Amino acid sequence: MRTLMAVVAMVVAVAFVATVVEANQCPLLIKQLKDGTAKISDAKTKGEVEKMIAEAQKLHDEGKHADSVKKCEEAAKVAGIKLEMKKS
Ligand SMILES: [Cu+2]
């Protein structure tokens, strides 16, 4: 019983840390995207990327961090930006 509780506590702790790391990841990626977008000269691409950044921000605000990171990766691809992921 004692072992089971220790395992449960461990799993909860790991899940908690993972969530915090993910939650911190999005603003970091969004910042990189915003900095990179400033250098895009093509107005159409720029608008598209800005829209995706806004969506990523919204997903992050809603707590959907994994989706937000995915959206950031998509935006980076369109923008031609290489994102630096935070190492956990
Ligand atoms: Cu987030």
The predicted structure's pLDDT at residue 56: 98
Q: Is 88's pLDDT higher than 70?
A: no
- What pLDDT sits at residue 47? 97
Instruction: State in Å: Cα 4 to ligand 1 middle.
Output: 31
Task: Using the mean position of ligand 1's atoms as its centre, give its distance from the Cα of residue 21 in Å.
Answer: 9
Closest CA to 59 of 51, 12, 15: 51
Can you tell me the mean pLDDT for 59-87?
Answer: 94
Q: How many CB atoms lie within 10 A of CB 66?
A: 12
pLDDT at position 68: 96
Question: Who has greater pLDDT, 7 or 58?
Answer: 58
21-56 pLDDT, tens per residue?
A: 777 899 999 999 999 999 999 999 999 999 999 999
